[in-house]
């Protein structure tokens, strides 16, 4: 008689992957060196700088003294609001003006204008010149005593005496915004042109057949299609301008009498001209908080776009 052994219940197989990692752990592993580097070269110096804001410290001399919130209150009770106001004037001006110029040119180039390829290349020219060089060029243009602009305006009989464009509070900020506009509009133009080229021609044709004029077509067809690109371009440019340094520093150094001083120039002047690293990092900390708000808005917008897709 043969007896069949009762079928043995298979032992439950251990849920193990033979030393293999889960996708989550793998992803963490891949990012770990990057995160570690990020922590070493960004987070640590950042925290260290924020920490320095609580000390009285001269950049040139060893040693420092804990002063609590004194450096922060120095700014908040003093120039903070003035610097914020000037930074915002510069940021709004240097964002909106090149946006309008860039959008107008993008629309013109997208309209099938003859020679648009050549013009597109030509308009990109200011963008490829380093910012400092652009600033020096415009510094010579705006120079009060031997600048090109005064020369042209005087020859044309528009002004009788030279104007100190960079030496007067009213015109200095304007000059800085004009210079930054010249350097920034090509980038905005290219981005907006790319957006415009994705608008289906059929939509325009249909709108035309419905009797829409060019202005109506712009608001009903073009703008809704490029609004996404435009908002990203505006926000990025706003964030960059909020941190912008070289144009202002080269043209006016924050003057005259501090009327073009922004967070970027004030931090630089305090740290590297005044050698007061404690106050400089305190202002940098306050500035960073404001920047974080802008970055949060940017992330919110881009996430919303991602969700919409």
CB atoms within 10 A of CB 13: 6
Using alpha carbons, list the distances in angstroms from residue 160 to 140, 154, 155.
19, 6, 9
Check: CB of residue 101 under 8 Å from CB of residue 185: yes
Residue 138 Cβ vs other proteins, minimum distance, rounded to whole Å: 14
- Under rule CB under 8 A, how many of the chain's residues touch other proteins? 45
Q: Are 237 and 98 in contact (CB under 8 A)?
A: yes
Query: What minimum distance in Å lies between the beta carbon of 279 and other proteins?
Result: 10
Could you say which residues in the range 30-89 bind other proteins, by CB under 8 A?
30, 32-33, 36-37, 40-41, 56, 58-62
Q: Take residue 50 and report the two structure tokens written for it.
A: 């924020």
Q: Pick from 126, 131, 228, 253: which binds other proteins (CB under 8 A)?
A: 253
Least Å from the CB of residue 92 to other proteins: 21
**Minimum separation from the CB atom of position 64 to other proteins (A):** 10
Q: Which of 84, 95, 52, 41 has its CA nearest to residue 291?
A: 84
Cβ at position 39, least distance to other proteins in Å: 9
User: Interaction with other proteins in 129-168: which residues (CB under 8 A)?
Assistant: 143-146, 161-162, 164, 166-168
Any idea which residue has 């897709």 for tokens?
A: 309
Dihedral, CA of residue 89, residue 233, residue 295 and residue 309, to nearest 10: 150
Contacts of 187 (CB under 8 A, 6+ apart): 102, 127, 237
Near other proteins by CB under 8 A: residue from 14, 22, 128, 211: 22
Query: Which one of 240, 256, 288, 302 is in contact with other proteins (CB under 8 A)?
Result: 256
Q: Which residues bind other proteins (CB under 8 A)?
A: 15, 17, 19-23, 25-26, 29-30, 32-33, 36-37, 40-41, 56, 58-62, 143-146, 161-162, 164, 166-169, 253, 255-259, 272-276
């Amino acid at each position: 008689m043969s007896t069949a052994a009762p079928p043995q219940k298979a032992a439950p197989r251990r849920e193990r992957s033979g030393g293999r990692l889960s996708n989550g752990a793998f992803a963490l592993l891949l990012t770990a060196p990057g995160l570690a580097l990020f922590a070493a070269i960004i987070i640590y110096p950042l925290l260290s700088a924020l920490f320095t804001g609580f000390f009285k410290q001269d950049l040139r001399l060893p040693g420092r003294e804990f002063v609590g919130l004194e450096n922060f209150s120095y700014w908040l009770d003093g120039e903070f609001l003035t610097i914020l106001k000037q930074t915002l004037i510069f940021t709004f001006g240097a964002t909106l003006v090149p946006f309008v110029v860039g959008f107008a040119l993008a629309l013109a180039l997208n309209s099938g204008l003859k020679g648009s390829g050549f013009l597109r290349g030509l308009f990109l020219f200011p963008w490829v010149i380093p910012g400092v060089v652009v600033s020096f060029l415009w510094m010579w243009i705006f120079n009060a005593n031997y600048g090109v602009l005064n020369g042209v305006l005087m020859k044309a009989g528009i002004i009788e005496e030279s104007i100190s464009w960079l030496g007067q509070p009213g015109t200095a900020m304007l000059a800085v915004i004009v210079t930054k506009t010249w350097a920034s509009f090509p980038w905005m133009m290219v981005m907006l042109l790319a957006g415009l080229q994705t608008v289906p021609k059929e939509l325009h044709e249909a709108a035309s057949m419905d009797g829409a004029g060019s202005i109506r077509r712009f608001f009903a067809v073009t703008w809704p299609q490029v609004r996404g690109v435009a908002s990203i371009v505006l926000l990025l440019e706003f964030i960059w301008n909020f941190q912008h340094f070289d144009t202002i520093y080269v043209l006016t150094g924050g003057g005259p009498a501090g009327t073009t001083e922004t967070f970027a120039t004030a931090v630089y002047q305090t740290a590297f001209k005044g050698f007061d690293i404690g106050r400089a990092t305190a202002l940098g900390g306050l500035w960073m908080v404001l920047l974080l708000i802008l970055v949060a808005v940017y992330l919110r917008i881009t996430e919303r776009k991602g969700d919409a897709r």
